[in-house]
Structure 1
Amino acid sequence: MDINDEFHKDGKLADVTIVVEDHKILGSKTVLCLASPVFCAMLDGDFKEKTDKELQLPGKNYEDFVEFLRCIYPDKMKKITEKNVYMLLPLAYEYNVEKMMKRCQKVLKKIVKNRHTGNVEELYRHIHLSEMYRLDELKEKCVYLASEHTLKQFKAARTAHQVSDASHFKIIELALRRHELDKTDEKVFRVHRATKEYGISFDRGYGTNGINCQMQGRIDMEEENKEDMFRALRLIERFKIITYDKSTKSQLLNQLQTVNRNGECIEEFDLLPENVKDALQNNS
Structure 2
Amino acid sequence: RVEVLADPGMFAAPNNRSDVVLKIGEKKLHVSKELLSIHSPVFEAMFFGEFAEKDKEEVEIKDVVYEEFVDLLKVIYPGHSPFTISNVSHVLKLSDRFQMKGVIEHCVIYLQNMTKFNIMKKLLLAEQYNLQKLKVGALFYLTKDFRTIVSTPSNDGYKKLSNATKAMMCDRIMHLV
Corresponding position: 1:80 with 2:78: no
Corresponding position: 1:145 with 2:148: no
Distance 1:6 1:170, change over 3 A: same
**Unmatched segments (≥5 aa) in structure 2:** 1-7
User: What residue identity is the alignment partner of 1:115?
Assistant: K
Larger Rg: 1
Task: Give the corresponding residue for 1:211.
Answer: none
1:70 and 1:167 map into 2 onto residues whose CA distance is 33
Shift of 1:16: 0.8
Corresponding position: 1:124 with 2:120: yes
Are the equivalent residues in 1 in contact too, given 2:143–2:172 (CA < 8 A)? yes
For residues 77-105 of structure 1, the C-alpha deviation after alignment (integer angstroms, 9 at most, x for no partner) is 21112232122110111111122111111
Shift of 1:133: 1.4
Query: Identity of aligned pairs, percent?
Result: 25
2:51 and 2:136 map into 1 onto residues whose CA distance is 38
Shift of 1:51: 2.7
**Unmatched segments (≥5 aa) in structure 1:** 117-121, 180-284
Distance 1:177 1:160, change over 3 A: closer
Higher relative contact order (CA 8 A, sep 6+): 2
Aligned length: 168
Corresponding position: 1:101 with 2:97: no
Distance 1:26 1:130, change over 3 A: same
Shift of 1:124: 2.9
Please tell me the root mean square deviation across aligned C-alpha atoms, in Å: 2.8
Are the equivalent residues in 1 in contact too, given 2:13–2:29 (CA < 8 A)? no
Shift of 1:56: 0.4
Shift of 1:14: 3.3
Are the equivalent residues in 1 in contact too, given 2:150–2:158 (CA < 8 A)? no
Matches within 5 A, 1:264-279: none
Are the equivalent residues in 2 in contact too, given 1:5–1:25 (CA < 8 A)? no
2:168 and 2:61 map into 1 onto residues whose CA distance is 39
Task: Give the corresponding residue for 1:70.
Answer: 74
